[in-house]
Structure 1
Amino acid sequence: MNTFLISIIAANVIFSFTGFNDTSFFRKYEFHIGSIRAGEQLRMLTSGFLHADIGHLFFNMFTLFAFAPVVLSYLGDVSFLLIYFGSLVCGSLLTLIFHKDDYNYRAIGASGAVTGILYAAILLDPDMSLYLYFIPIPIPAYVFGIGYLLYSIYGMKSKSDNIGHTAHFGGAIGGYLITLIKEPEMLTENTLMVVLLAIPIVLLFGLAKTGKL
């Protein structure tokens, strides 16, 4: 397995488990609008390595483990890191934009970075499939990706947890745009997938514009 991928997964596991067992650590590094607007911008990065619980951590790391090798094989280590951290930052920036006036808003999770890698992998290999242990047949990766973001819309509307659902979209946008900038021929060679992956992003902004989020 790639050294960078191992290092990122290890960092997420170590950081998250520290947060599980140390509330003060968790509070110090989580995404918190009030603290960020007071000058603690580092939280926009560190919150991407914290998770709500083991299930949340496992799901994000499983998704990363499944899709990162595609990005690594097509684009290499540097581009993989650019997409991962670029998507993480984009996820935090979109969250800040959406919730800038809610000083008590808190969120955590690698979802932004992971969704960016997910979107990049689907664009690079649109025919790939994913096997989920609870579904005995292969699932087209683009169905998983679109479903992931639609679930995020539900999470944003329900506001039932402090998982960074808004960051999913920022990360998707980051991964989507960075990949298309690096591989612009996809716009003509893979037009259908480019359009399909844009649908949940457009839906998000449509809901936001009409005040339904």
Structure 2
Amino acid sequence: MGNIDLITIILIGANALISYKGFNDYSFFEKYKLQVGPINRGEKLRLVSSGFLHANTQHLLFNMLSLYFFADVVLGNLGSIKFLIIYFGSLVLGSLLSVYFHKNEYNYSAVGASGAVSGIIYSAILLQPGMKLMFFLVPIPIPAYIFGVGYLLYSIYGMKKQLGNIGHDAHFGGAVGGYLITLILSPWLFSTNLFMVVLLAIPILILFLLKKTGNM
């Protein structure tokens, strides 16, 4: 992956510091997590702040490793400004869709960088679909798009099982954000990588239909 970019280091550091503050400070965690009731009353900062809190160390590590694997691809192809637009745009859209899907559940809450990370994953796959990933337990190169699809399957599982305070709905919203923002910023992808543009639209549409039909 090369040398890790400074922006990636800053984002991972911010997620780690704020998450560990939340692990040890209940009032801090409660004040800044995504929660439908307070957001409806005007506490919009939670739409962003919840993306820097995590449910536990495993949740934090999973998201930060995913960010590490894919961030350099987006930074290398689009630059720092567009990377940050995709990261925070995906974070906010993921949060907004979580609030929308749970608008009548005033106590619904969630945390995690899942929306932002899903957006970066989808962006990276659009930009460089042929890249491979290596994992410690799987000594075979895995195509990036397979990891991306697997990440969304994990989202579906999390939504169905209502796992902890993790923002599983945000995976969906973040993926949509990363997908749409990247295509807006890089319209040339429609001519150079149309197959992947269509392929990555399929799981997004499936997730949307499952949610709309009440099967989630």
Q: Same fold (TM over 0.5)?
A: yes
How many residues get paired?
213
Identify the match of residue 182 of structure 2 among 175, 179, 184: 179
Identify the match of residue 77 of structure 1 among 39, 59, 80: 80
SS at match of 2:140: strand
Residue type of the alignment partner of 2:71 = A
1:160 CA drift (Å): 2.7
Q: Map of 1:119-158 to 2, 5 A cutoff?
A: 119-158=122-161
SS at match of 1:211: coil
Ranges in structure 1 where 5+ consecutive residues have no aligned partner: none
Alignment correspondent of 1:163: 166
Residue type of the alignment partner of 1:117 = I
Answering whether residue 46 of structure 2 is matched by residue 25 of structure 1, we say no
1:38 CA drift (Å): 1.3
1:157 CA drift (Å): 1.1
Answering whether residue 101 of structure 2 is matched by residue 98 of structure 1, we say yes
Task: Please report the TM-score for the alignment, with normalisation by the length of structure 1.
Answer: 0.98
1:53-99 Cα deviation digits (max 9, x unpaired): 11110110001011000001000010111100010001011111111
Q: Map of 1:185-204 to 2, 5 A cutoff?
A: 185-204=188-207
Alignment correspondent of 2:50: 47
Alignment correspondent of 1:37: 40
Distance in 2 (alpha carbons) for counterparts of 1:160 and 1:61:
19
1:184 CA drift (Å): 1.1
SS at match of 2:21: helix
Deviates more, 1:26-35 or 1:151-160: 151-160
Answering whether residue 92 of structure 2 is matched by residue 89 of structure 1, we say yes
Answering whether residue 116 of structure 2 is matched by residue 113 of structure 1, we say yes
Distance in 2 (alpha carbons) for counterparts of 1:202 and 1:8:
29
Distance in 1 (alpha carbons) for counterparts of 2:172 and 2:104:
19
Q: Map of 1:49-68 to 2, 5 A cutoff?
A: 49-68=52-71
Residue type of the alignment partner of 1:100 = K
Answering whether residue 14 of structure 2 is matched by residue 8 of structure 1, we say no
Residue type of the alignment partner of 2:145 = Y
SS at match of 1:137: strand
Task: Please report the TM-score for the alignment, with normalisation by the length of structure 2.
Answer: 0.96
Distance in 1 (alpha carbons) for counterparts of 2:183 and 2:42:
33
Distance in 2 (alpha carbons) for counterparts of 1:82 and 1:201:
20
- Aligned-pair identity in percent equals 61
SS at match of 1:160: coil
Over aligned residues, Cα RMSD in angstroms?
0.9
1:18 CA drift (Å): 0.3
Distance in 2 (alpha carbons) for counterparts of 1:208 and 1:77:
34
Distance in 2 (alpha carbons) for counterparts of 1:183 and 1:24:
42
1:146-194 Cα deviation digits (max 9, x unpaired): 1111110111111132100000111111110111111112122212111
